[in-house]
């Protein structure tokens, strides 16, 4: 029996993806677990594996196609023992029933990642798995929507995210600015945006237009922290662990939020979410944009554990090997441009979070030390806050505590 392979939802928030490359050709035999395609998301390029044995009957979507909606049919998989005639018949069936039409049963199968754990829906979704996209199933589970009451408008009557709009309206992106053409007469090269760059543009535009930012800066004397780091790295040399300034700032950020929990929050419309642990999204620059892999429960991690995990996540990010559990979630973000010698930076909030801390370079300058003016290595730390969730006094207390932790680094070892 021929099955439809659909664009998978590789994360709960994924709506579209780029079919970067086919790793198989029409007529190829595949086994469960074989890599058949590379899917590019806004976070990374991931491999798409066959879930069952069979033979590729038709590659519906050409490689290199952008903005392929989750749940769209991208290929047909015929049974491993089907004849060439049956494969041709499957191809003809697809042509006779293009996307949006309603061919007769049997209902198509879908290859997708396992469902995320969520509150139980009004009815079991096992039967609905074959007529709803993975994203629609997640939304239905989260909202308790009975999919049997929803009419699908996707291929072959499949329920997609848009079909849940009247039942469970989702926030829509703010209207973007008018995009002007380049000035006439100036040499210009047009570079096609990848999925990551498109997502960055959309999300940060939404952030700056819908989130009321306000900013506070604290200048921190790094001399004690730099001495402590040197001593720690000497002690950990035989273990092959090297702690960076960024690792120590991540720890200071987490401990500051543990001490000021009213800053570890997220705006939720008519509620405010206050988190019981600190998960830090760490900005990592890669080719074509940046990603934010997440360090979980940082307040409970040692500096050596933070160093090990942050190094591993940064390497996976640069190699394009992050998986959804590496970058989903996060209660706060840290963006550090100190390695570029930047004097000060004002970061944009990473929605739906309410706080992002930007770290600049440590710059040697005159500073009051022990009642005298001496040279000190001073870093400007600037945080952006969502004023809907965090008030000025809470933000100021957080910054005060953060600076105290940076300037008293032994507290990071407690």
Catalytic residue list = 387
Residue 48's beta-bridge partner residues? 37
- 355 sits in which H/E element: strand 355-369
Q: Return d(Cα 164, Cα 168) in angstroms, integer.
A: 6
Q: Return d(Cα 216, Cα 381) in angstroms, integer.
A: 8
CB count, 10 Å around CB of 222? 24
Q: Tokens 């590789």: give the residue.
A: 10
- Helix axes of 245-259 and 223-235: crossing angle, nearest 10 degrees: 110
Q: Return d(Cα 102, Cα 376) in angstroms, integer.
A: 72
The three-state DSSP-derived secondary structure of 182-218 is CCCCCCCCCCCCCHHHHHHHHHHHHHHHHCCEEEEEE
Q: Return d(Cα 221, Cα 228) in angstroms, integer.
A: 13
Q: Return d(Cα 259, Cα 253) in angstroms, integer.
A: 10
Structural contact between residues 356 and 348, judged by C-beta atoms closer than 8 angstroms: yes
Give the three-state DSSP class for 166.
coil
Q: Return d(Cα 72, Cα 5) in angstroms, integer.
A: 8
- Helix axes of 392-407 and 223-235: crossing angle, nearest 10 degrees: 50
* CA distance from start to end of the chain: 62
């Amino acid at each position: 029996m021929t099955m439809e392979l659909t664009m998978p939802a590789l994360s709960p928030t994924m709506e579209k993806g780029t079919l970067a490359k086919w790793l198989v050709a029409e007529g190829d035999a595949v086994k469960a677990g074989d890599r058949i395609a590379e899917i590019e998301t806004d976070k990374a390029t991931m491999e798409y594996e066959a879930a069952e044995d069979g033979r590729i009957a038709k590659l519906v979507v050409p490689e290199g196609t952008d903005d392929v909606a989750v749940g769209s049919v991208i290929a047909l998989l015929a049974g491993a023992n089907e004849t060439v005639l049956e494969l041709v018949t499957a191809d003809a069936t697809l042509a006779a029933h293009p996307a949006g039409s309603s061919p007769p049963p049997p209902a198509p199968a879908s290859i997708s990642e396992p469902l995320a754990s969520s509150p139980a829906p009004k009815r079991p979704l096992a039967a609905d798995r074959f007529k709803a996209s993975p994203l629609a199933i997640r939304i239905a589970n989260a909202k308790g929507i009975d999919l049997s009451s929803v009419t699908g408008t996707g291929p072959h009557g499949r329920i997609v995210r848009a079909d849940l709009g009247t039942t469970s309206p989702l926030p829509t992106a703010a209207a973007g600015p008018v995009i002007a053409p380049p000035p006439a007469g100036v040499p210009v090269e047009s570079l096609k945006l990848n999925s990551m760059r498109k997502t960055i543009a959309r999300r940060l535009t939404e952030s700056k237009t819908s989130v009321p930012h306000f900013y506070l800066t604290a200048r921190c004397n790094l001399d004690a922290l730099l001495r402590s780091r040197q001593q720690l790295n000497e002690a950990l040399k035989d273990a092959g662990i090297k702690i960076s300034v960024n690792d120590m700032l991540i720890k200071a950020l987490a401990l500051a939020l543990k001490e000021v929990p009213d800053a570890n929050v997220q705006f939720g419309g008519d509620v405010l979410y206050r988190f019981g642990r600190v998960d830090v999204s760490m900005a990592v620059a890669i080719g074509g944009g940046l990603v934010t892999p997440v360090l979980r429960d940082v307040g409970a991690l040692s500096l050596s554990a933070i160093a090990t995990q942050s190094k591993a996540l940064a390497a996976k990010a640069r190699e394009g090997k992050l998986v959804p559990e590496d970058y989903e979630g996060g209660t706060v973000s840290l963006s550090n441009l100190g390695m570029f010698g930047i004097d000060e930076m004002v970061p944009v909030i990473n929605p739906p979070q309410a706080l992002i801390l930007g770290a600049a370079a440590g710059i040697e300058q005159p500073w009051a030390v022990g009642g005298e003016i001496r040279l000190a290595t001073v870093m400007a730390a600037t945080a952006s806050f969502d004023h809907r969730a965090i008030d000025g006094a809470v933000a100021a207390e957080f910054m005060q505590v953060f600076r105290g932790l940076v300037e008293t680094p032994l507290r990071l070892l407690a």
